[in-house]
Copies of this chain bind each other. A is one copy, B any other.
Amino acid sequence: MTSEPILILTTGGTIDKQYFDALSEYQVGESTVGMLLRIGRVAHPFRIEEVLRKDSLELTDDDRALIAARAAAAPESRIVITHGTDTMTDTAGALAAIPGKTMVLTGALAPARFTESDAAFNLGLAFAAAQTCAPGVYIAMSGQVFDGLRVKKDREAGRFVQIE
């Protein structure tokens, strides 16, 4: 088993949504990843790097290029990327050409600050996949580690499903 350090790149998405009373609205806030790893009592070495704070529907091609550039340039070869779920598969495509790195996208359908959020479970799922999978792009959602290039979000059903 590997004990190589894991890099977590945060880009925003529902997982980091906060409620701002002064605006009466929810927006992507500071990343919850540090809090989740502390509560998860993670002793495995890791490093967190904020790339963006966006809803995934607002991500541009330039944003995806930036995420890919950060992943490619990082000294770590095992990377978890927290991301909004709606365009997670597009970003998976943008990462596919990076060689020699295990990259796992994850996020949440309910904000991490909710009592009942899938954020902690999903981050655990992604953390293990980053340690155990061969180089490539993966999506860890809905309790499953998917090939990142053969999966889609079924928005109606609120889950990710494999594409045959």
A-side interface mostly: mixed
- Please report A residues at the B interface, Cβ cutoff 8 Å: 1, 3, 14, 17, 19, 21-22, 24-26, 36-37, 39-44, 46, 55, 57, 85-86, 109-111, 113-118, 120-129, 131-133, 138, 140, 142-147, 155-162
Cα distance, A3 to B151, chains bound together (Å): 12
B-chain residues with CB within 8 Å of residue A41 when the two chains form the complex? 109-110, 118, 121, 142-143, 158-159
Count of chain copies: 4
B-chain residues with CB within 8 Å of residue A128 when the two chains form the complex? 124-129, 132, 140, 145
State whether B125 touches A158 (Cβ < 8 A).
no
B-chain residues with CB within 8 Å of residue A86 when the two chains form the complex? 24
Closest to A118 in B: B41
Closest to A6 in B: B143
Q: Which of B109, B132, B147 sits near A21, CB closer than 8 Å?
A: B109
